[in-house]
Amino acid sequence: MADYKAPLRDMRFVLNEVFDAPGHWRAMPALAEVVDAETAEAILEEAGKITAGTIAPLNRSGDEEGCHWQDGAVTTPAGYPEAYRLYAEGGWVGVGGDPAYGGMGMPKAISAQVEEMMNSASLAFGLYPMLTSGACLSIYAHASEALKQKYLPNMYAGVWAGSMCLTEPHAGTDLGIIRTKAEPQADGSYKVTGTKIFITGGEHDLTENIIHLVLAKLPDAPAGSKGISLFLVPKVMVNDDGSLGARNSLACGSIEHKMGIQASATCVMNFDGATGWMVGEPNKGLAAMFTMMNYERLGVGIQGLATGERSYQSAIEYARERIQSRAPTGPVAQDKAADPIIVHPDVRRMLLTMKALNEGGRAFSTYVAMQLDTAKFSEDEVARKRAEDLVALLTPVSKAFLTDMGLETTVHGQQIFGGHGFIREWGQEQLVRDCRITQIYEGTNGIQALDLVGRKIVGSGGAFYRHFADEVRAFIASAGADMAEFTTPLEAALVNLDELTRFVLEQAKHNPNEIGAASVEYLHTFGYTVYAYLWARMAQASLGRLSDDFYASKLGTARFYFARLLPRIHSLTASVRAGSASLYLLDAAQF
């Protein structure tokens, strides 16, 4: 596998030249105080160094060794504790945290780039700080000031880690049927009892304490999802002076044996009357948990992008060096027995697909991150509400489309290696295995598609969608004649999506099955159209600068996207319009 190199040039291009992120930050006083172009540049440079130099070398060895469980204790692979300590000492766990509690206070547009680099270096490693950051988001937004003061500084510092304990053996997507109970105590604490499964980082040796956020039900809770509360349950009790006390009544019963992310501890957690404190209000636990979901689901989407980027870096190096056969037009490498495989049309098709999806995905993740920043920091109420609506609309798309495209990209990278891609030596098969989970956890991609169509499109009557469509139309109207080769197909794609959205809204009125039947293909149609918009913006930023290879490459990749990838929307649209009838032609026994 090629050594990982952080794609800093492309990150700068997206932030500064496509979206003018520094101008975006200056317009919001809360961000203008903590970040500017120079600060962002320094942070990304340093993140690139630690991810490439310290974390990336552990990716394969961590996969080979995996985590170990013995008598309730979990040890991570060799090198992980030391690397995590260096990562934490650099302040990277709290890069987006509130400075009042020791965080860096960086906008999501910056932390999204850091997440990509970290997950490209090692997805399994990246899950530990990601879960801590997610737990911090919920604590920061919903916990009492006393809990925030007691737990956030050490979590942002990476001295303590965090986990999110949602899933139970019988309750995955349907959290309303969880059985974990929380009994109130006279001192205001609760005794939490139950079993949680698939808990990333539920137990490990990277930090001295782990702060679990646990969904549970009070004794008098109403049935279903409206009866769920959220509790902070530390692995080790924390004394009033901040020192660590006795071990809490919880334990890791086992770790899972998985297809990928072997160096990430996926735990069964048993809570046996463990002491905890409520976060937020009684029976409002899902709302508190969903505070972090928009961030975490974008984070999982970035994991798909990140593995795709790592796969591309290895594939392009291999394609330039591996010689096999001659180019269709005749020998290119006259001094060699064969030509490098990059000359072959099918290899170029795969490489360009990877490049277009990765760079489109980076623009998309940054775009969504900037909406999150506007929703959180803007003082303009109208702008903030619009950003909130766009975040609601685009979160399921970013999670599902980025990870679906990530798997496609890692498979292309594996394919370019041929037989060498199937064996462990080159590392490409690990990326395929690691990427696969991103389509499953934090809500499967099918659930994301249902969320998009059922809640965000049908649920809003198309109002959320109109924000996006109006923005794209405004861009098309403002673009010059030199942009026609991009804006003409973009406009056609948007008209198609407009019509498809109206079709879905109308069909949903008559048959509830139509929402689920249309959802995945609709989400993909939406995703390719979003990428078309962003590729048009990247092309606009590159026109007139073709003497520089970076911009020439960007423009050529944009042309490839519009010629070879955007047309996928036509078959997807046909599938949506086919409706749900064919899905119900068989009885269950006929399958």
Separation CA 359–CA 376 (nearest Å) = 26
For residue 215, what are its two tokens?
């969904």
Between CA 43 and CA 46, with CA 44 as vertex, the angle to 5 degrees is 65
CA dihedral for 427, 428, 431, 433, sign (positive or negative): negative
Residues noted as catalytic: 442
What's the DSSP call for residue 222? P
Cα 451 from chain centroid?
A: 16
Instruction: List Cβ neighbours of 321 (8 Å cut-off, separation of 6 or more).
Output: 340
212 with 233: CB under 8 angstroms? yes
At residue 417, what are phi and psi to the nearest 5 degrees?
-75, -10
427 with 318: CB under 8 angstroms? no
State the distance between the two ends of the chain, measured CA to CA, in whole angstroms. 42
What's the DSSP call for residue 217? B
Cα 586 from chain centroid?
A: 36
Q: Strand ranges (DSSP E) for 414-458?
A: none
Instruction: List Cβ neighbours of 299 (8 Å cut-off, separation of 6 or more).
Output: 115, 130, 133, 134
For residue 548, what are its two tokens?
């520089």
